[in-house]
Structure 1
Amino acid sequence: MCFSFNCDSKFVKKKMASSRTQERSKIKPPQKYLKESILVERGEPSVYALKLKKESETSPKYHLGKENLQIANKVIMMMGASGSGKTTLINGMINYILGVQWGDEFRFKLIDEVTGRNQAESQTSEVRAYVVNYQEGLKIPCSLTFVDTPGFGDTRGIEQDKKLVEKIREFFSIPGGIDHIDCVCFVVKASTNRLTAAEKYVFDSVLSIFGKDIKENIQFLITFADSQTPLVLEAIKTADVPCAKDGKGNPVHFKFNNSALFANNVMGDRESPNFDEMFWKMGIISMKTYFDSLSKLNARSLTLTKEVLRERKELETVVQGLLPQIKTGLVKLEELKETEQVLDQHKADMAANRDFEYEIPVTVKVKQDLSGAHQYATNCKNCKVTCHYPCWGTWDRLNRLCSAISFFSGKCNVCPSKCSASDHHNQNYQFKDEIRKEKKTYAELKKKYEHAYHGVMTAEQLIWHLSQEYIKVRENLFENIERASQSLRRLEEIALKPNPLSTPEYIDMLIASEEEECKLGYQKRIQLLKEVKKEAEIIQKIAKKEALLPEEEEMMSERGDKGKFRLIARYWKRRAMNILPK
């Protein structure tokens, strides 16, 4: 009797446990997440913010549900201009994935349309990854990671768009972050008949950070769509955006209309819910079509993309280092020319060994404090120049990781003397060159060079050494441009799209900067920048294997084994001989 009761008791307990398990399994994902979500707007339907868990304190990843490493994870990157409907589309996708029905009394939001934040975030305008971990009952058979980027092309202008591209670069460079990507999705409005300058710039800039192997995984998600052929397709083709193509030669695209996502779904006295329900059902079909297509895409490793990122960053650091060195060279050239004019005017004084006074522009090194901005710069203690700004930290032992330092040689790619990593320090200030007018005397000039070269110097030798000093600065500048050219050629081999800024265009930016700032002597520097641009155009032609003009061929052929400009040297020697008395 007792034995029989025990068996029955065990059987009953087992049956009850099985029943509870079955009941739990019958709870559909929408109801499960509804219990854990936060009500943000009461209505018909009410809107709830999904509760997400941050992967770690410093990670840009947020998880929905328990991580399941045994299930494949599809990664899609979402990009779109401000107002393109990107955030609403992502929210529409999450409602589809969780299985929300038209008649349900609730809708979910993964991201807020106004703030661009999820419930766990405190900062805006950052690249974030939202991982929807698979569980039984979801509408897709895998986990899904949304890489969400801030909207571009808003009223803050091109500078903000540049920051966006840098944030995307940083996101893909995070150790232990995203290691593959399944689809790069550009969200565009159906009615867009041409790409704006901001859209074209960001498209080209973002595509320039990806390897060529990603092309077939680039697709367009078209919002605010109807039954007509979207105008934006022609705009995409005109802009020649690299992407996957369908059998008709059109960019692979999917149409969405999310107008019914948060629409009132209670009939009442209105007939509009019937109309909204139709759009809801059309949206379900669009979502299913897209995710069925996504399941067939082959994932692309980000190994090549990270190589592009590394080389692009190195290139940009070198080009960034050109700016102060160009200006130093320009002022040095201005100093040389004005000194030459002074010497020309004082032939008789030099012949009689009489002293005279003159005024010339000079550059003075100053330290700009960065502590208030909580930023750091990598400075060379030998050359007294800033080689990389802003740089990531203050620990000198890791300065070989700075993009200005070659990881293999340990030498700096930016500073004039190409000093070693040990000569560089991460500091809370950067070096700036200030241009000032200073009074000099012929005696001081002569004494300076006699001290430097340990001997009495004739006037002819003096002007010769002045020209050599300029040639050295110019040579270093040319080597930097050559290095930029080598990186550009390499990037052309591996990058999907070239950087919108090539070297001549960069020098155009310097010219524009000089015109805007109007600092002392800017007109002469602009003229000299135009001369430097000619050399940059030669380098670009070499990179593209284009024919050179005869005078350009002469300039290139005059470069010696060590890269010295013998043509320029001979020019200055002739000038010196003409200036100085017999």
Structure 2
Amino acid sequence: MPVSFMMTVGHHFEEKIVTFGDEDSNEDHHHPGQSVTQHCRSYIFPIGTRTKIRFIDTPGMGDTRGLIQDDINMQHILSFITNLSHLNAICILLKPNESRLNIVLRSYFDRLLKFLGENARHNIIFCFTNTRATFFAPGDTAPLLKKMILSCPIKDIPFDKSNTFCFDSESFRYLVAVRSGIEFDQYQKNEYQQSWTISVTESDRLLQYFCGSTLKPYLQNEWRSVEHAQFRIIKLHKYEFAAQVDADNEYSLKARYRTGHRS
């Protein structure tokens, strides 16, 4: 997965674009404000020798291309997960310094939960990024998120330390920047090393939560909603149509064979 970000360096704050990884048509780093991830894609990571975790990277909400693009992204996400047998966790990524949660996030969060059904509450996880500035805590976003959760159609969604995880990617950016030849002073190095240590600890806690006994697989046959039923019906129609096309093609081939055989 490619990475691209801008840094200011030197006494005159020259702008430098730092990149890492190969170009990927599914990752658009050239249009700030638009979702970087263009389509859902799954990544499988081995955990030990007996466990594999599949992470599904999805397009983000609040795309600068407007509500139509957000709706396209949401439709794509719902269509993608309908092909899965179950979900173990639904990770909601947020930043800790939001002054308000925009209406787009709130509306699509509600739509996702309505699609999955009320039992999805047990599998929701909140992940906060860029949390070094808020001492690895949810920061100003926490009270806003609590208010949003209370207004959700699905009640009793947990939001506490057990299902909330706080990370910071600055230490990773630091390593990528060093690889690109950017120099840092000792104070900055110490700060990034501390950030790395805390983020690794939090990542381990997240993996333990994934693999522990708390989370139960949320099977697709438990996703009881009208929109999910509509997706299933559309999917069945597509299969039936494909099967009919295959049958027609097979009949056509047989007819041609018979005609050729008689002649």
TM-score, normalised by the number of residues in structure 1: 0.32
Cα gap change, 1:398/1:133 in structure 2, threshold over 3 Å: closer, same or farther? Answer: farther
Correspondence list, 1:55-204, <5 A: 112=27, 114=29, 125-134=38-47, 136=49, 142-174=51-83, 178-204=84-110
Classify the secondary structure of the residue corresponding to 1:303: helix
Question: 2: distance between equivalents of 1:161 and 1:257?
Answer: 26
Correspondence list, 1:417-456, <5 A: none
Decide which of 270, 275, 280 is 2:196's aligned counterpart: 280
Is the CA contact (8 Å cut-off) linking 1:233 and 1:250 kept in structure 2?
no
State the one-letter code of the partner of 2:218.
Answer: R
State the one-letter code of the partner of 1:196.
Answer: N
Classify the secondary structure of the residue corresponding to 2:64: coil
Is the CA contact (8 Å cut-off) linking 2:171 and 2:196 kept in structure 1?
yes
- Note the C-alpha offset of 1:190: 0.2
- C-alpha deviations, 1:223-266, integer Å up to 9, x for none? 111325521121111112456425xx689311111111021458
Is the CA contact (8 Å cut-off) linking 2:44 and 2:54 kept in structure 1?
yes
Equivalent position of 1:305 in the other structure: 223
Q: How many residues align?
A: 212
- Note the C-alpha offset of 1:135: 5.6
Question: 2: distance between equivalents of 1:46 and 1:196?
Answer: 30
State the one-letter code of the partner of 1:311.
Answer: A
Cα gap change, 1:263/1:213 in structure 2, threshold over 3 Å: closer, same or farther? Answer: same
Looking at CA atoms only, which structure, 1 or 2, has the larger radius of gyration? 1
- C-alpha deviations, 1:407-466, integer Å up to 9, x for none? xxxxxxxxxxxxxxxxxxxxxxxxxxxxxxxxxxxxxxxxxxxxxxxxxxxxxxxxxxxx
Equivalent position of 2:208 in the other structure: 292
Matched, 1:263 2:200: no
Matched, 1:254 2:165: yes
Question: 1: distance between equivalents of 2:222 and 2:204?
Answer: 31
State the one-letter code of the partner of 1:277.
Answer: Q
Cα gap change, 1:281/1:49 in structure 2, threshold over 3 Å: closer, same or farther? Answer: farther
State the one-letter code of the partner of 2:65.
Answer: R
- Note the C-alpha offset of 1:200: 0.9
Question: Which stretches in structure 2 are left out of the alignment for 5+ residues?
Answer: 5-17, 32-36, 246-263
State the one-letter code of the partner of 2:66.
Answer: G
Question: 2: distance between equivalents of 1:312 and 1:155?
Answer: 29
State the one-letter code of the partner of 1:279.
Answer: S
Is the CA contact (8 Å cut-off) linking 2:82 and 2:231 kept in structure 1?
no
Is the CA contact (8 Å cut-off) linking 1:217 and 1:244 kept in structure 2?
no
State the one-letter code of the partner of 1:245.
Answer: P
- Note the C-alpha offset of 1:186: 0.5
Question: 1: distance between equivalents of 2:82 and 2:71?
Answer: 17
State the one-letter code of the partner of 1:194.
Answer: R
- C-alpha deviations, 1:479-501, integer Å up to 9, x for none? xxxxxxxxxxxxxxxxxxxxxxx
- Note the C-alpha offset of 1:173: 2.8
Question: Which stretches in structure 1 are left out of the alignment for 5+ residues?
Answer: 1-36, 51-108, 117-123, 318-390, 400-582
Is the CA contact (8 Å cut-off) linking 1:221 and 1:255 kept in structure 2?
yes
Cα gap change, 1:143/1:49 in structure 2, threshold over 3 Å: closer, same or farther? Answer: farther
Correspondence list, 1:381-530, <5 A: 395=241
Cα gap change, 1:142/1:398 in structure 2, threshold over 3 Å: closer, same or farther? Answer: same
Cα gap change, 1:311/1:278 in structure 2, threshold over 3 Å: closer, same or farther? Answer: same
- Note the C-alpha offset of 1:167: 1.0
Matched, 1:210 2:116: yes
Equivalent position of 1:66 in the other structure: none
- Note the C-alpha offset of 1:171: 1.1
Is the CA contact (8 Å cut-off) linking 1:130 and 1:145 kept in structure 2?
yes
Cα gap change, 1:396/1:303 in structure 2, threshold over 3 Å: closer, same or farther? Answer: closer
State the one-letter code of the partner of 2:116.
Answer: F
Classify the secondary structure of the residue corresponding to 2:171: coil
State the one-letter code of the partner of 1:300.
Answer: Y
Correspondence list, 1:322-337, <5 A: none
- C-alpha deviations, 1:19-55, integer Å up to 9, x for none? xxxxxxxxxxxxxxxxxx99x9xxxx994459xxxxx
Question: 1: distance between equivalents of 2:78 and 2:71?
Answer: 11
- Note the C-alpha offset of 1:313: 4.5
RMSD of equivalent CA atoms: 4.1
Could you tell me the percent identity over the aligned residues? 18
Question: 2: distance between equivalents of 1:236 and 1:252?
Answer: 14
Cα gap change, 1:396/1:49 in structure 2, threshold over 3 Å: closer, same or farther? Answer: closer
Classify the secondary structure of the residue corresponding to 1:220: strand
